[in-house]
Structure formats: C-alpha cells, structure tokens
Chain A
Amino acid sequence: MTVAPNGRSRRDVVAVKPCPDCGACIAPATIRANDGLCPECNHHYRIGATERLRQLLDLGSFEEWDRDLRSTDPLEFVDLVPYVERLAEAHRKTNLHEAVVTGAGTVLGNQVGLAVMDFGYVGGSMGQVVGERVARAMERSAARTMPFVAVTASGGARMQEGILSLMQMAKTSIARSRLAEVPVAYISVLTDPTMGGVMASFAASADVILAEPGATIGFAGARVITQATHEEVPPRFQTSEFMLEHGFVDAVVPRKELRASLGRLLSLYPVPRSAAAHAEARA
C-alpha cells in the first residue's frame, strides 16, 4: 500500500465510497476510528480479526494460540490462480496466516477462549487450519474450564481444500462437545456474513447466539437460491433481524454494546472450578 504525504495510506485518500445504508461519504479512517461504524447511520462495516480482538478484549490480555499452524495445499488445487497464490494474496491483504485467530483473553475481567474470523482472508472460508485452530481452541478452553466465544465471518467451506474442508464441519462440531461436557458456556457472535459450512457447524451450535445488526446469516446464499429454485427471495431475507424474528438467534447486538453484552453473559453462566483451582483451594 502506498503512503500519502500526510501519513495516511493512499487507499484512505482515494477510496471514499458512499455508505451502503445512508449514502454518506465518510473517509475510511473516520469509519475505522469509529469501530468500523458509519458515524451517520451506524451501518456496520466488516472489520478484521485484529480490530475485533482490540474492541472486545481487555487491553493486553490476549494470548494467541497456534499462530504457526499454516495452510498447505493438500490437493494442489488450481482454479483461475493456484491456491498457494490465493493464500499469499490473503496474507498480504490481512497480515494474517489464516481466516481465524484463536487464543485466550479477558472480556471485562472474564477469562475466555476465543476464535475470531476474518472475512478478508479468502472470504473467511473454513479449510483445515481454520477447523484445526477452532477445535484446538475449544479443547483448550474446555481443559482450562474457560467459556468460549466465536466471532464468525465466513462465506462457507474453502473450495480449494475440497473434501478436507467439509471434514472441518465434523471436526469443529465434535470438538464443541468437549465444551458441553465440562460444561462451559459457548457464545457465538455472527457477523457479516456467516454462511454455509461455518453456519451449519460450530456457529449454530453455541449455547447463546448473538448477531451484529444487518449481517447476512444463513446456509445457502440468495443468489444460489434464486439460481437453483427460481424462487423470489423475500425482503430482509437472511438478515440478523429476520433471523431473530424466526427464532434462530438470541439477540441482535450493536457493535458498540457487544463487549458489555458478552461481559454480562459471561458473568451469568457459571464457570466450574478447574482441577487446578480445586487443588489450589485445598493447599
């Protein structure tokens, strides 16, 4: 990215697009400084995993897990461009090494395990590394008796890892059962968009499902539905608010309130004392 003389990136200078909701032309830097929200109408722009963690976690509390797990190219997949080039491009764009960042941190003092997805990395698609990081994070949270929070943003399974991507739906679902065994609370936060294989696996199996306003949430996308069935898609179809009305999410929570909502929920669900804590109490 080129940098303009005033220190802002060239992208900031040229890419002022009107807000999709209200049409206001706001500088990207202004939107970024406002948590990725339109200052005029509160439209929720997509934000990356790093920014999300900054917004949700207590300062300096994040400990990242499995940073070194990197995608390989198990099928040697080539479509319009080789898969390895798509991965390299995704890294350049997001500075991440996969579409999910996992780790531990505290939200208003509550210890949690986390998986935060980034739509900017190959559309947040779930391949082997995403599935493995999520499963390990769930297992570690269960072992440390910490509640688990997943912030999802995904178009679905990653085509370029084929059937191995499909298996990540099974992997994350079966790992989720470890959280239920303890039990520790599992809260998912659906952000724009959460579709396909991620929605149909760990995103939907949380104890509490929150959604950001205006996010697109569902299994099959509207375009696929129209192509396959020639059905008319109703207005507001697959929005967070629509899914709330139909009983599939517990609450629609504006981004500015998300940290407080998570903090309150986490404080309400009992956390069993870990074996270590028991030992400490006895000593």
Chain B
Amino acid sequence: MNTWATVELARHEARPYALDYIASLTEDFVELHGDRDGGDDRAVVGGPARMDGRTIMIIAHQKGRTLEERQFRNYGMAHPEGYRKAMRLMRQAERFGMPVLALIDTPGAYPGVGAELSGQAWAISQSLIVQSDLRVPIVSVVIGEGGSGGALALALGDRVLIMEHSIYSVASPEACAAITWRDAGKKQEAAEALRLTSADALELGVVDEVIPEPVPAHLDPEGAARRLAEAVGRHLEELSHFSLERLLGSRYWRFRRPI
C-alpha cells in the first residue's frame, strides 16, 4: 500500500474515534468537563472508567463524523484548554492511583489566534512536564492521526502503541510539503519522506507495539476494539507490577535514550 493511502485510512471518516473505543473497551465511563480555568475543550474528552475491573483515567482527542460533529469537536484539534483539562485529569489520576489511558487522534494542536492567546505552546510544554514525573502508569495509543506537538502532548507514556493504519508524524504531510518543498501540493512526496506509518514508528523505536488491523478498523470496528483492549490490558497489567522507582526510571530512559 502506498503511504498516501495510509494517510487517507488514518483520516477515514468512518474510522472508529476515541468515544467509539471508550464505549467498547470500558464500562461506566463518566465524562468530566472543563479545565477549571475558564474553558472546556470539546476536542479533548476524558474521565474515569472501568476496564478489566480496574478504574482507569481516560484522556483522548475526539474527532467528529458528521460535519456538525466535526465542527463541534474542532476536527480533533485541541486548544490550550484541552491540554489543561488533560493535565487536571492526569493529576487526579495520580492522586487516586489510577493508570492513565490516552487515545491520540488529532491533526495537531489548533493553530488559531485564540489558542495562541491562551498559550498553546505553554500548555503543551506543561503537559509534557506533568507526564514526565506522573506517579501512575501511562499508556498512550495513536488510534488514527498522531499529528505533531498536539499529539505528543498526550503521548509521553510508559508504553506508546499505535493502531496499524494510523500515522504518527512531526507535521502533517501538507505542512511539511509547504515548509520544505514550499508547495503544499507535494503532500504525497512529503508523506513518503516523513516515515510516518506505524511500521516506520516501530522501526524507528518511537512506539513499542503496532496493534494489527487485518482489515482497516472502519470495516471491522469490533475486531479493532478487541485487539486494542487486549494490548492495552496487557500493558496496564505489566506496568501495575512496576515499583514507582522503576516506573519513573524506565519512562525517563524511554524518552531520554541517547541517539
């Protein structure tokens, strides 16, 4: 399959989104709203839920399927308020000893005037800092589009997984083409050059595991959810046996490893 087809699959409008996976993976999900600082970002959802009998804290980017939903979710592009909500939920998870499951599906953090005015760069930076020493396990899964700093802001996990037909990239192929080719039309060339497929991410050591999609997730959402649940459950179980020192130490070296 050529790389551009992968990009299109990762962005496919029938692909399961975070709330679809949350509904099939977990029980009793209660969505919590707001950053307690004046905003609630609908591109980021989160709250406690039960999975395999343990309470976990879910934090996820949410895209929309219909035009109306997409606009409501701002196409899954978070404002600083979204990352501040995420940090609030991470801290809460830490207080109650709940592991964090982050589902990543965003073209990137929202590039808008309002987002800049409320400190997009500062919010992403702070979210990375919070995860750097969060005292509970974090499992991050790229379920569709892992776009740029907006994706990474939820992906400083002890384990980073990716669904097979997803992408994880420093920039969207369109943005990369505009920057390096000075021509956004070169998006297919950029997609090739960026090495943004799940297999690339595994080979480059950026993710720990690729969750297979024998058929693309939108054609078999139940199968995709089952495989996602199996992988997440397995990693959460492994991490639950780590001492705090081992957890934080291995997270440090996971991201700090020398080139």
Contacts and interface: CB of A to CB of B under 8 A. Distances in A.
Main SS at interface, chain B? helix
A177 interface: yes
B118 to A, nearest CB: 8
Interface stretch (B38-46, B105-113, B217-225, B231-239): B105-113
A213 interface: no
A186 B2 CA distance: 45
B121 A219 contact: yes
Interface stretch (B60-68, B95-103, B199-207): B199-207
A233 interface: yes
Main SS at interface, chain A? helix
Contacts of B3: none
A135 to B, nearest CB: 6
Interface string B176-216: 10011110001001100111100011001010000000000
Interface stretch (A20-28, A38-46, A222-230, A253-261): A222-230
Interface of B: 109, 111-113, 115-117, 119-122, 124-126, 128-129, 132-133, 148-149, 152-153, 155-156, 168-171, 175-176, 179-182, 186, 189-190, 193-196, 200-201, 204, 206, 251-252, 255-256, 258-259
B156 A75 contact: no
B112 A196 contact: no
Contacts of B186: 79
The 8 A-B pairs of least Cβ separation, nearest first, read: A220-B111, A204-B125, A173-B128, A79-B180, A199-B121, A219-B120, A200-B121, A219-B121
B111 A159 contact: no
A201 interface: yes
A243 to B, nearest CB: 9
B116 A167 contact: no
A129 B259 contact: yes
A200 B125 contact: yes
A145 to B, nearest CB: 19
Interface in A163-219: 163-167, 169-171, 173-177, 195-197, 199-205, 218-219
Interface-central residue, B111, B133, B196, B201, by most chain A CB under 10 Å: B111
16 contacts: A158-B170, A162-B196, A163-B194, A163-B195, A163-B196, A166-B169, A171-B255, A174-B156, A200-B109, A201-B149, A202-B125, A203-B121, A205-B126, A220-B111, A228-B112, A246-B119
Contact of A169 (B152, B169, B190, B259): B152
Contact of A159 (B120, B153, B176): B176
Contacts of B175: 224
Contact of A163 (B111, B117, B168, B189): B168
